[in-house]
Amino acid sequence: MSVLEIAGVDVWFARGPQVLTGINLTVTAGEHWALLGPNGAGKSTLLSLASAQRFPSRGTVTILGHLMGRVDLRELRRSIGIVDVRLRLPAELSVIEYVETGATQTVQSLGPPAEAMRQRSRELVERLGLAAIADRSIAVCSQGERSRARLARSLVPRPALLLLDEPAAGLDLPGRADLLNAIESTVAAEPALASITVAHHLEELAASTTHVALLREGQIVAHGDVGLLGDETALSECFGRPVRAQPVAGRWFAIAE
């Protein structure tokens, strides 16, 4: 089942440059894509299309079978989970209260959620290793704990598509390892889920990554299954200098020369 179809898409701004050109990308259920490329390559803009936050200037974007421009975006966005470190964390809430706000996709508590959503939140907190700090203020949690709380919150409404915008940014080594383990456990527990992760470093990709799209100057220079990361020519073209990568225990590590 196709979850996302981007066909012949260009994006430009009225008083700025064209940021995406000729983008074609299809994501199906159970696939987990990584978007890689240098700064300014267009990764975040592409993710904004996938999240139904931006319309293409040319071409079409179809999300969960609904063509952008012909669907109620509020309803569509309920089926899309987003993990974005730039979104405000409400300091007045505990971890479990913050996770529960995923039921309404707000950044504040709107009262007790329905029992099914409350139970879902508890299950996610347990699965992602946050049960011991469920009642702790999110304001005093470590960056690694907050990253997993963001992931749990995004999963509460059982999205069909999960979008992660640099989820490991700013994490130390243990925090990153815990987050990647949490992502991998999510993929194992929810096999129909599809995801797209924007990352600057291969080391920030979970071992559950199945596909890769390499972007440079607003264009996809190569895409395919995760084995593409072993293609030194494709990586070097993407980043504009010699780059090689190798897998270790299912995760990838890169060296730029």
Inter-residue long-range contacts of 12-20, CB under 8 Å, 24+ positions, other chains counted: 12/57, 18/57, 18/218, 19/45, 19/218, 20/45, 20/46, 20/56, 20/218, 20/219
Quickly list DSSP for 35-80.
EE-STTSSHHHHHHHHTTSS--SEEEEEETTEETTSS-HHHHHTTE
Q: How many CA atoms within 13 Å lie on the side-chain side of 197?
A: 29
Q: Which of 25, 33, 34, 27 is nearest to 3 (CA)?
A: 27
Least Cα distance to 34 among 145, 183, 189, 170 occurs for 183
pLDDT tens, per residue, the chain with 257 residues: 799 999 999 999 888 789 999 999 999 999 999 999 999 999 999 999 999 999 999 999 999 999 998 888 888 888 999 998 888 888 889 999 999 999 877 665 556 667 888 899 999 999 999 999 999 999 999 999 999 999 999 999 999 999 999 999 989 999 999 999 999 999 999 999 999 999 989 999 999 999 999 999 999 999 999 999 999 999 999 999 999 999 998 899 999 88
Q: pTM of the prediction?
A: 0.93
Give me the helix-helix angle, 115-127 and 143-155, nearest 10°.
140
Structural domains of the chain, ranges and CATH numbers in brackets: 2-79+159-256 (3.40.50.300), 87-158 (no CATH)
The tokens of 9 are what?
């898409």
- Using alpha carbons, select from 3, 41, 26 the residue that is nearest to residue 223: 26
